[in-house]
Structure 1
C-alpha cells in the first residue's frame, strides 16, 4: 500500500502485479479513521428519528382505523403532546370517538405493511446480490429471453413466420430460469446441447423429461432406465404414436414393432456405420482401436452388406460368423458386383488360421447380443407387427423410446444403430425440406456413453443443429465422455455444443478448474486503512479474482446449472423440473399408473 506524506499532499496512484493479476492501489489524502466514539454524536438524532418514524406509523394507522370504523377522517395534531398522550393514556385519549379495536387494527396494518415492504426489499437485494459479479445478466442473454427466442424461432421455422403470438414451446427449448429470480431462458432449435451432471442432480427431472414433454416434432429418447419413459409416455401419446424399442425388458413392454437393422447396410458406408456401432459397444475408447477391433469391423461391414444385397437376415449373418469357411457372403457380394469387398473378405478367410479365428472371434463378441433370440426378434422381419421406419418418424410427431441395459450383454450396439438411423433419416428429410426440419426433431441421448455410443457423434453434432435436429447429450462427467470418444473426440463434442449445462456434483478437479478459467475473472476492491506520523489514510486496492472458483462450481446446489452458451458470458440458471410445472398433477397420475403397469409386467415375466 502507498504511504501518505505530509498533510495536504495530493492523491497518488500506484500499480503492482499480484498473484498473476493486476492490483491497482489508490492512496488518498490523510483522513481521520472512524472509531466507535465518532458515532456518539449521531446517537441522539438517530434515536429521535426512530421514535418519530414509529409515531408517524401509529398516528397514520390510528387515523386510518378510526376513519374506517365510521368516526371520519379526523387526524389528531402531529405533535409531542399527541405522542405523549398516546404513550401514557392509550389510543382512546387520541381518538376518543373511534373504536379502540379499529384504531389498534389500523396501527397493526400500517406497521405490518411497512415490515412486509422492508422484508421484500431486503429479499430482492439479497437475490440480486446472490448472482456472483461477472456472470451474464438479462442484457447479455437477450437472445435467450422470451422476446429474443421468439424472433429467432420465426427466422428458423418458416411455418411460424406469419403466426401471431407464439406459444413459449414453439420458440425454443426451455433451459431454466436465470438466477436469481430472473426470466426463463430458451435455446433456439438450431442449438445442440451437452449437459454434464452427477447422478440425481436433475438430469431426468429437469432436462430429459421436460425436453420430451415440450417437443413440437418427433422425439427420440435413449435411456437405460424406465423413469423418463414412465413419466412421458402417456403425454406423448396425445401428440402422436409411441414406439417403444425395449429388447432387454427395461420397461417390460411387449414387442409391438420390428426394425430392419440391415436396411442401413445397403451401402458400404451404411454397413460400416452399422458395424461401428457394435464395435463401439464393446470398445471402451473409440480412439484406441487395435488390429483385432479394426479387422472385426471390416469383416462385419462385409457380412452386413452381403446380407443386405442378398436379402438375408440377422440369423444368417450369425451363421456366417460361426463358420468362416462358408462362402455364401463372398458369393453374394460378387453377385452384387462388389468384387473388391468380396476379395477382402476372402483374403481374411484364407489368411493364417490364428489370425482369421482371432478376427472372427472378435467380431462374434461384438454382435454377441444378437445371439439372444429375444433381442434378435426386434431387428428381424415379423409380418404380424408394424415395421418402424426411421424416414417416416423424422417427419411425424411420434416418439421413439430406445431402452437398453448397459454393461455386459447389453443391446447397446442395436440401440446406437437405431438412434443413428433415425438421426440420419432426419438429416435426409431436412435436406428435402430445404435445409431444416419444421417442426424440429428432438433427440435426447440420455446415458449416451453407456447405451448410445455413436462413434462419430462429435463430428456430426454441429451438422445436426443446422438441420433442425435438436440433440441433447447427457453425461455424468466429462471423463465419462473421454472414455467413449477419447480426449480429441470429447474436446470436439465440447466445442461443437452451442449450449452447455454444467450441474451439481462435478468432481473432476482438472475439468472443474478448466471451467473456472473459462468463466473468467473480475475486479474486486478492498479498502484498508493505515496510520502514519501525519495521521491516518485510506487505500483502495483492486485485484482479479475468479468469478466462480473451482470449489464453488463443484458445490453448485442441486437443481441449478452453469450455462455456457456460444458467444455469451456464462450465466447461472435454475432448472425447472417437470413436477413443478402446470399440469404436473395429470402427468404424475399417468406416471404412477405406468409404473404400476411396469411392475405388473415385471412380476408376470418373473412368474413365467
Structure 2
C-alpha cells in the first residue's frame, strides 16, 4: 500500500510538467504547419501571405483544406513546404539525440578534448617547433612532422600525437591491433631513420616499398623470416673494443637465455664475464666470431689471454686466466653456460650475417641514424633464435643515435624511430628500462610492444618492468589484457568518480526526494579487459587517462597503394619461401656437409 501511494504521489508531482510538455509540442506542431505552408506557397509563386497565427487556422486546414488559408497557392506546394519543414525538424532532432546519446555513452571521468589540447594538432605543432630547429620559421607543417600519431580521441576526435621527446610502452593482446594500428603507421610516417624488430614478416611486407622511397632499406634476416637474400653484413665486434661495449654485447646474449635479469645466478654472471673477455680479445686482437667459438670450445687455449696482454688489458687477461685455471668442474660449468648463451652462432646461416664479407655492403649504425634509411631486424622466437644478435644490433644502432644526437647539440633532427615489436622475445636489451628516458631526451622515439605486463616482468624482472612503466611518458593499453592484478591497478590509476543516486521517502507530510553520492571506478577492471579491438586507453604524463581509437593503416586514404605493394611483397616472400624449402629438401646431404665444414673451420689457421 505504501508503495502504491508513493507511486501516485510521484505521478502527481510530474503532472504539471506533462501539461507544459503537451502545450509546447502542440505549439511547435502548429508553428511548423503555419510556417511550412506559407513557405511552400511563397516558393510556388503565391507570395509571402501567412494566415493568422491562431488556433482556428489549424482547424480550418483540417476541415476546408489549404485554399482558404493560402488563396491561389498550389495545394501540392503547400503540403510540400509543410513536409520540408517537418523533415528538417526531424533531422535536427535525430542529430540532437545522437549527440546526446554519444555524450551519455562517453565514459565520465576520462580526459576530453580540452585536457588533451597539448596533444591535439595545434598544441603538438607548437611543441614540435620547440624540439626541432629545422621547423622554426615554417608556417605550414605536415602533421607527421609534428609528432607520432596515436589515434583519435574517443568519440569524435581530434587526432592525438605524442611529441618527439616521448617514449612509449604499449601493452596489447595478440590480434588487438599492435601491428596494423601502431607498428605499421609508425614506420610509414617516420621522418628520420627507422629501426624495427619483429618475429613476423607482416610489418616488413606492408612498409618495405614505402620506406624504399624514403631511403635505403637494410634487412637483417638471418633465420629467413622474410626469406630475403643476404645483402648486408654487420661487424658484431665493432663495438667490442671497449670493456663497456664487450660487456653490453655479452649481456644481450645472456639475456636471450635468461628470463629474469634480476635473478642471475653464479653461472650466468660468470658466463657473462667470460664472454666479455672473449669478445674484447677478439675485437682488440683482430679476430672474429669464429675465433671466439673456437676459444669457447677449448678452454685451455691461451690465445685470448695472450691477445689481451698484447693490448695491455692486463686485468681482463688475469681474470680470464683465473677462470681457465680454476677448478675443472667450475671452469667447465662456466664455459658450458657461455656456449649455451651464444649457441645461435653455431649456425653458419646466422654467423655469415655478422662476419666481414667484402662482396656485400657493411651496415654501419653511425651512418644509418643520420639518414632516412630503414633497418628491419627479424628473428624467430624460442630455441635457436638469433635474439642475442638482434638485441646487439638494435642496441648498437640506438646508442649510435645517442652519440649522433650529442654531436648535433643534444637531439636528433629529424628524430629516429625505433619500434621494438615483440621486444620480450627477439630484442631483450637488459637495461632498456634505464635507457628509456635517456632515449627520449635525445630525439630517439622508442616504442616497445608487449603482449602483457607479466611478459615484460619475465624478461626484466618486477623492478625492471616497474622502471620501464615509470619511464614511459606514453602508455597505450589495448584489448585483451587478462592479468587481473595489473588491470585492477590500472583501474585505480584511472581514478574514481561521484555517482549521484536518487532515493524517495514517504512520511505523513508527503513524499520527498533526496540524493546521495558514492565513489565508483571510472573504468572498472572488467571494462578495461573488455576494451573493443581497435581502441586503447591512453596514459600520458600530466593529464588524465583518455580513450582513443587507433588508426589502422588500411583505413587511411593511401591504403590502396600500400595494400597493393604489400600484396606484391607478400607474394615475393611466398615465392622465396617455396624456393628455399625446395632447395633444402633437394640437398639435405649437401647442407649437412657444409655445416660440418664450417664447424671444423671455427678457428682461423
What is the TM-score when the length of structure 2 is the normalising length? 0.92
Residues 338 and 103 of structure 1, relative CA distance in 2, 3 Å threshold? same
2:103 and 2:123 map into 1 onto residues whose CA distance is: 23
**1:271-350 pair list within 5 angstroms:** 271-350=246-325
Whether the 8 Å CA contact 2:259–2:458 is kept in 1: the answer is: yes
Match of 1:397 in 2: 372
Equivalent residues in 2 for 1:55-94 (5 A)? 55-88=30-63, 90-91=65-66, 94=69
Would you say the 8 A contact 1:334–1:342 is kept in 2? Answer: yes
- The structure 1 residue matched to 2:388, chosen from 413, 435, 442, is 413
Name the residue aligned to 1:206. 181
Given candidates 413, 416, 419, the residue that maps to 1:444 is: 419
Partner of 2:591: none
Aligned residue number for residue 371 of structure 1: 346
Deviation digits for residues 94-150 of structure 1 (CA, Å, limit 9, x no counterpart) = 556444444333333222221111111122222223332222222322221222111
Corresponding residue for 1:511? 486
Q: Does 1:428 align with 2:413?
A: no
> Is 2:212 aligned against 1:237?
yes
Secondary structure of residue in 2 paired with 1:529: strand
Partner of residue 26, structure 1: none
Measured against aligned partners, the alpha-carbon deviations of 1:253-307 in whole angstroms (never above 9, x if no partner) come to 1111101111111111101100111111111111111111111111111111111
Report the CA distance shift for 1:357/1:520 in structure 2 as closer, same or farther (over 3 A).
same
Shift of 1:186: 1.3
Partner of 2:534: 559
Q: Deviations over 1:237-262 (max 9, x none)?
A: 11111111111111111111101111
Is the Cα–Cα contact under 8 Å of residues 33 and 537 in structure 1 kept in the other structure?
A: no
Q: Displacement, 1:558?
A: 1.3
Structure-2 change in CA distance of 1:42 and 1:467 (3 Å): closer
In the alignment, structure 1 residue 169 sits paired with structure 2 residue 157: no
CA distance in 1, matches of 2:575, 2:80: 60
The SS at the match of 2:224 is: coil
Q: 1:177 to 1:94 in 2, by over 3 A?
A: same
Q: Is the 8 A contact 1:33 1:536 kept in 2?
A: no
Asked if the contact 2:412/2:443 (under 8 Å) is kept, the reply is yes
2:154 to 162, 170, 179: 179
* SS of alignment partner, residue 299 of structure 2: coil
- Tell me the CA shift for residue 512 of structure 1: 0.8
Query: For 1:323 and 1:456, how far apart are their aligned partners in 2?
Result: 31
Q: CA deviation at 1:346?
A: 1.5
- Structure 2 distance, partners of 1:134, 1:472, is 27
- Within 5 A, what are the aligned runs for 1:181-200? 181-200=156-175
Contact 2:195-2:376 at 8 Å conserved across structures = yes
1:330-351 C-alpha deviation (Å, 9 max, x unpaired): 1111111111111111121222
Q: Secondary structure at the match of 1:421?
A: helix
| Structure 2 match to 1:224 | 199
When structure 1 is superposed on structure 2, of 313-322 and 474-483 the one drifting more is 313-322
Give the structure 1 partner of residue 100 of structure 2: 125
Q: Larger deviation: 57-66 or 190-199? A: 57-66
SS in 2 for 1:301: helix
Aligned ranges 1:590-601 → 2 under 5 Å: 590-601=565-576
Equivalent pair of 1:481/1:490 in contact (CA under 8 Å): yes
Tell me the equivalent position of 1:155. Answer: 130
Which piece of structure 1 moves more, 184-193 or 324-333? 324-333
Pair 1:472-2:455 in alignment: no
State how far apart, in whole Å, the 2-side matches of 1:534 and 1:53 are.
39
Partners of 1:465 and 1:341 in 2: CA distance = 34
Match of 1:4 in 2: none
Cα separation, partners in 2 of 1:448 and 1:122, compared to 1, 3 Å: same
The 3-state SS of whatever aligns with 1:397 is coil
Structure 1 stretch displaced more, 466-475 or 171-180: 171-180
| Map of 1:523 onto structure 2 | 498
* 8 Å Cα contact 1:32-1:536 kept in structure 2: no
Q: Is the 8 A contact 2:9 2:511 kept in 1?
A: no
In the alignment, the residues of structure 2 paired with residue 226 and residue 248 of structure 1 have an alpha-carbon distance, to the nearest angstrom, of 12
Q: What's the offset of the Cα at 1:41?
A: 5.3
Corresponding residue SS for 2:467? helix
Q: Does 1:381 align with 2:356?
A: yes
CA 316–88 in structure 1, closer or farther in 2 if over 3 Å, else same: farther
Q: CA deviation at 1:85?
A: 3.7
Unpaired runs of 5+ in structure 1?
A: 1-30
How far residue 205 of structure 1 moved from its aligned partner, in angstroms, is: 1.2
Instruction: Encode CA deviations 1:564-587: one digit per residue, 9 max, x unaligned.
Output: 111211111111111122211111
**Cα–Cα, structure 1 residues 48 and 322, in superposed 2: closer, same or farther, change >3 Å?**
same
Q: What's the Cα RMSD here?
A: 1.9
CA distance in 2, matches of 1:379, 1:187: 35
Indicate conservation of the 8 Å contact 1:33/1:529, yes or no.
Answer: no
Deviation at 1:90?
4.8
SS at match of 1:527: strand
Question: 2: CA distance between counterparts of 1:537 and 1:45?
Answer: 22
Is the Cα contact below 8 Å between 1:62 and 1:107 reproduced in 2?
A: yes
Q: Residues of 1 paired with 2:184 and 2:225: CA distance?
A: 17
Alpha-carbon distance between aligned partners in 2 of 1:196 and 1:79, rounded to the nearest angstrom: 66
* Cross-structure match for 1:247: 222
SS of equivalent to 1:263: coil
* SS of 2:164 mapped into structure 1: coil
Q: Cα distance 1:223–1:361, how it changes in 2: closer, same or farther (>3 A)? A: same
The residue number in structure 1 matching 2:589 is none
1:458 aligns with 2:433: yes
Relative distance call for 1:102 and 1:593 in structure 2 (3 A) is farther
**Displacement, 1:40?**
4.6
The whole-number CA distance in structure 2 between the counterparts of 1:452 and 1:183 is: 34
Name the SS for the 2:240 alignment partner.
helix
The separation in 1 between residues aligned to 2:577 and 2:67, in whole angstroms, is 76
The answer on whether the counterparts of 1:516 and 1:553 sit within 8 Å (CA) in structure 2 is yes
